[in-house]
Amino acid sequence: DGLDVFPYSVGINPLTGKALVVYQNSSKATIIDLDTLAVIATGQIQTTGANPQIAVDTQLNWAFVTPGGTGLLSVVDLNNNGRNVVSLIAVPSSNGAVRKSGTVTITTTGSHGATVGETVVVAGVNDSSFDGTFTVASVPSGSSFTYSQSGSDTTSGNGTVSVANPLLTIGLEQNTRGISISPETKMAVLADPASSAVTLMNMLDQSVSTITLETGAVASAVNPLTNSAVTVNSLGNTASLLNLQTKSRTTQFTVGRKPVAVAIDPTTNIAITVNQADNTVSVIKLGTIRPFQITQMNPFNTFTGTTTQALTIVGNGFQPGAAVRFNGTNLTTTYVNERELSATIPTSYLGAASRYIVDVLNPTSTIHSNVNTFTVMQAITVGTSPRGIALDRARNLAVVTNSGSKTVSVINTASLSISGTLNVGTSPQGVGLSSIAGRAAVANTDDDTVSVIDLDNIAVATTVSVAPSSGTSKPIGIAVHPGSGRVVVADSNSSLVSFFDISSPGTPATLTVDAGPEAVAIDPTRNIAAVAEGASSTVVIVDLSTSQILSRVTGFALPTGAIYDPDSDTFLVTSSLANNFGSVIAHPDTDTYSVTFNRVGINPTSIDYNYRSSTLVTANTSSQTLSVMDFLTKTIKAIIPLAVSQQFAVAIDPMTNRAFVVDQNNNRVIVVPLPR
* Residue 648: closest CA among 533, 477, 435, 448: 477
Tell me which amino acid residue 21 is. V
CA within 13 Å, CB half, 278: 11
The pLDDT of residue 1:
47
- Rounded to whole angstroms, the Cα distance separating 94 from 481 reads 32
Contacts for 246 with CB less than 8 Å, ≥ 6 apart: none
Pairing assessment for the beta strands 372-381 and 301-303 based on DSSP bridges: parallel
The angle at the Cα of 405, spanning 402 to 407, to the nearest 5 degrees, equals 55
Q: What angle do CA 376, 378, 379 make, to 5 degrees?
A: 145
Tell me how far apart the alpha carbons of residues 580 and 267 are, in angstroms, rounded to a whole number: 36
Q: Do the beta carbons of residue 32 and residue 46 sit within 8 Å? A: no
Give whole-number Cα distances, 260 to 195, 239, 282, 451, in Å.
16, 10, 12, 64
513 and 549 Cβ atoms separated by less than 8 Å: yes
Query: Which 3 state secondary structure label does DSSP give 466?
Result: coil
| 3 state DSSP class of 81 | coil
Q: Which among 373, 308, 318 is positioned nearest to 344, based on CA atoms?
A: 308
Q: Residue 144: which residues within 8 A CB-CB, separation 6 or more?
A: 105, 106, 107, 108, 112
pLDDT at 3 (0 to 100): 52
C-alpha 551/C-alpha 528 separation (Å) is 11
Rounded to an integer, what distance in angstroms lies between the CA atom of residue 471 and that of residue 200?
52
DSSP string, 606-661: EEEEETTTTEEEEEETTTTEEEEEETTTTEEEEEEE----SSS-EEEETTTTEEEE
Cα–Cα distance for residue pair 95/516, rounded to 1 Å? 21
Which amino acid appears at position 153 of this protein?
D
* Cα gap 610→141, rounded to integer Å: 42
**What is the C-alpha separation between 409 and 403, in angstroms, rounded?**
11
Distance (Å, whole) CA 517 – CA 529 = 12
Per-residue pLDDT, 335: 97
Distance (Å) of CA 310 to CA 108, 315, 656: 42, 17, 27
CA distance 114 to 103: 17
Written as one string, the DSSP assignment of 363-424 is TT-S-B---EEEEEEEEEE-SSSEEEEEEETTTTEEEEEETTTTEEEEEETTTTEEEEEEE-
C-alpha span between 606 and 530 (Å, rounded): 15
CB 660 within 8 A of CB 671: yes
- What are the beta bridge partners of residue 440? 433, 453
d(C-alpha 267, C-alpha 284), whole Å: 14
Output the CA–CA distances (angstroms, integers) from residue 147 to 122, 158, 596, in the order listed: 11, 17, 44
- Closest to 479 in 3D by CA, of 451, 438, 521: 521
Hey, is 347 helix, strand or coil? helix
Q: Find, among 493, 580, 507, 587, the residue nearest to 541 by Cα.
A: 587
- Bridge partners (DSSP) of residue 538 are 533
Q: Domains of the chain, with CATH numbers?
A: 6-82+167-285 (2.130.10.10), 86-163 (2.40.30), 293-378 (2.60.40.10), 382-512 (2.130.10.10)
Cβ within 8 Å of residue 283, ≥6 positions away? 270, 271, 272
Distance CA 201, CA 636 (A): 13
Single-letter code of the amino acid located at 482: P
CA gap 594, 206 in Å, rounded? 24
Three-state SS across 103-150?
A: EEEEEECCCCCCCCCCEEEEECCCCHHHCEEEECCEEEECCEEEEECC
Whole-angstrom Cα distance, residue 651 to residue 388? Answer: 9
CA distance 259 to 255: 7
CA 74 to CA 54: how far, in whole Å?
A: 10
d(CA 56, CA 77): 10
Q: Low-confidence residues of the chain, pLDDT below 70? A: 1-4
Residues 670, 390: contact at Cβ < 8 Å?
no
Distance CA 49, CA 472 (A): 50
Q: 10 Å Cβ neighbour count for 16? A: 18
Could you give phi then psi for residue 34, rounded to 5 degrees? Answer: -75, -15
**Of the candidates 210, 209, 207, which has an alpha carbon nearest to the alpha carbon of residue 600?**
207
State residue 126's pLDDT score: 87
Q: Are strands 459-465 and 475-480 parallel, antiparallel or unpaired?
A: unpaired
pLDDT reported for residue 2:
46
| CA–CA distance, 88 with 159 (Å, rounded to integer) | 6
**3-class SS at 344?**
strand
